[in-house]
Amino acid sequence: MFKNPSFVFSIFGSTGDLTYRKLLPALYHLKHRNRLSEDTVIRCIGRKDYRKEEYIAIIEPWIKKQSRFNFDQNVFDEFVKHIQYIKMEFTEKEAYTTLLDYPIGLDNLYYFAVAPEFFNVITEGLNHVNYLNDFKHRVILEKPFGDSLSHAIEVNRVLSQSFGSENIYHIDHYLGKEMIQNILAIRFGNRMFESVWNHNNIEQIQITASETVGVETRGSYYEQAGALKDMLQNHLLQIMSYVLMDKPDTLSSKDMLIRQKAVMESIVLDDLVLAQYDTNGDTLAYRNEKNVHPNSQVETYAAVRVHLHDGELKNVPIFLRTGKRLNQRATYIKIIFKPSSSNLYSNLHQEVITIKVQPDEGVSLSFNAKKPGTLNTITNVKMDFCQSCILENRINTPEAYERLLDDAFGHDDTLFTPWPIVEMSWKFGETIRSFVSEQKRSLVYYQANTQGPKEANEMLNKEGFEWLDEDEISY
């Protein structure tokens, strides 16, 4: 396998949780796969006063813990040769003179693993020392892409002026997950699915992203984000666009953008529930978590009902939900078909396609079959493909950040979120907030480690539906 070209990769926020848990393990994996050229420089920029040796000692156990390969000390020793640690106060413009000593002729790629209020600060600092005048410079932005629609637009304006709009990569790591990429293959690579993926056959669609953890050490961040900004208006909307889009002409980023925009422009918000987890036994309530306001009104759970006013899935009810401190950790999609019109059999079950994204990866199909015996009794059976159960698949499947960084290094932006979709996601977020205000919707509460608030169940129950767990089928 060919290596990516040499470049300078600068991580702002190199002593943060994201860098330790995701970015550096992903870079180690690329080194393990021989995807980093010998001249590539990884500059880890942080505020803490570390010598390189101290920083290496900190990151080694993280990489050992997060590695999808058996840890190889020789590979690690070669990997850390790429690393420079630079102590820098990136809010001080003069500090950027530290970065002027860089290899001549190499492209520069920056990763802003910091809060969105620092995106423009860093860009202005790079401009202050005329750092962006020579060679090619690209930037990867970690979500959330701003803290409001107006802020996101301003950030995009400043970064576009400095880097060029084509050199801004908005990373949504969900798009790097294997089964998200598989959605299009399942839909458009199989006649049996492609022909029925429309409003004539599908009764409803459910997309769930549930977590068992609380906010842990991210209370300050979560107070600014909440479930809507953190998960729903980016991750879940991205997944939804793949599930709902009409067939693109090609899989190019240009053609995918056309179909994604059509979905985003067609979304209609019908109903929602915002909730916050409360105490349950020894589990703290959200308001009692570290760095959380004692009277916080921030939602840790969000469920919405939407539909499209156009396209093949026009008017199909679509339910999205996400939350923390729930009873299962799972991300999955349920395509629930309308009951069969056959009058030959009684007690027919609904057919359901389940796409499992994490922690398990795979696809299952539940359908009707005759129960063995002398009677024409119908039973529900399931065919299950577990992709992550196959050792070869686990070994050969890159982690999301590994896949996306590799693509960015190779100048492939296909799996990154283009600015128009970012902007439209923010507009949908504004629509939600307007809906809450106009409908005078108040925050509700749910016990930690449960399925979520009863109000979210009621939202489906009034249509004769119910939320389905990952392995649950519809009757």
Q: Beta partners for 354?
A: 334, 364
Secondary structure, 3-state, the chain? CCCCCCEEEEEECCCCHHHHHHHHHHHHHHHHCCCCCCCCEEEEEECCCCCHHHHHHHHHHHHHHHCCCCCCHHHHHHHHHHEEEEECCCCCHHHHHHHHCCCCCCEEEEEECCCHHHHHHHHHHHHHCCHHHCCCEEEEEECCCCCCHHHHHHHHHHHHHHHCHHHEEEECHHHHCHHHHHHHHHHHCCHHHHCCCCCCCEEEEEEEEECCCCCCCCHHHHHHHHHHHHHHHHHHHHHHHHHHCCCCCCCCHHHHHHHHHHHHHHEEEEEEEEEEEECECCECCHHHCCCCCCCCCCCCEEEEEEEECCCCCECCCEEEEEECCECCCEEEEEEEECCCCCCCCCCCCCCEEEEEEECCCEEEEEEEEECCCCCCCEEEEEEEEEHHHCHHHHHHCCCHHHHHHHHHHCCCCCCCECHHHHHHHHHHHHHHHHHHHHCCCCCEEEECCECCCHHHHHHHHCCCCCCCCCCCCCC
Amino acid occupying residue 22: K
Domains of the chain: 7-171 (3.40.50.720), 175-397+422-461 (3.30.360.10)
Question: Two tokens at 20?
Answer: 């330790």
Which residue, chain included where needed, has tokens 């004692």?
Answer: 294
Which residues contact residue 162 at a Cβ distance below 8 angstroms, ignoring those fewer than 6 apart? Answer: 123, 126, 127, 132, 137
First-to-final CA distance of the chain: 48
Q: Residue 284 phi/psi, 5° resolution? A: -70, 150
8 Å CB contact between 293 and 452: no
Active site residue 235: yes
58: number of Cβ within 10 Å: 15
8 Å CB contact between 308 and 244: yes
Task: Please tell me the predicted confidence (pLDDT) of residue 475.
Answer: 43
Cα 180 from Cα 361, distance rounded (Å):
10
Which residues contact residue 421 at a Cβ distance below 8 angstroms, ignoring those fewer than 6 apart? Answer: 238, 241, 257, 260, 261, 264
Q: Residue 46 phi/psi, 5° resolution? A: -145, 165
Active-site residue (options: 235, 309, 349, 411): 235
User: If we measure between CA atoms, which residue out of 414, 434, 405, 403 comes closest to residue 9?
Assistant: 405
195-197-202-204 Cα dihedral, nearest 10 degrees: 170
Which residue, chain included where needed, has tokens 């359908």?
Answer: 367
- Average pLDDT by consecutive 10-residue portion of the chain (475 residues)? 76 94 96 91 94 96 92 95 94 89 75 92 90 81 86 93 93 87 92 94 97 89 90 92 94 91 95 96 94 95 96 96 95 94 81 92 90 82 83 74 92 90 93 89 94 96 93 58
Cα 182 from Cα 239, distance rounded (Å):
11
Cα 359 from Cα 409, distance rounded (Å):
27
Cα 7 from Cα 29, distance rounded (Å):
17
Sign of torsion, CA 10 105 170 2?
A: negative
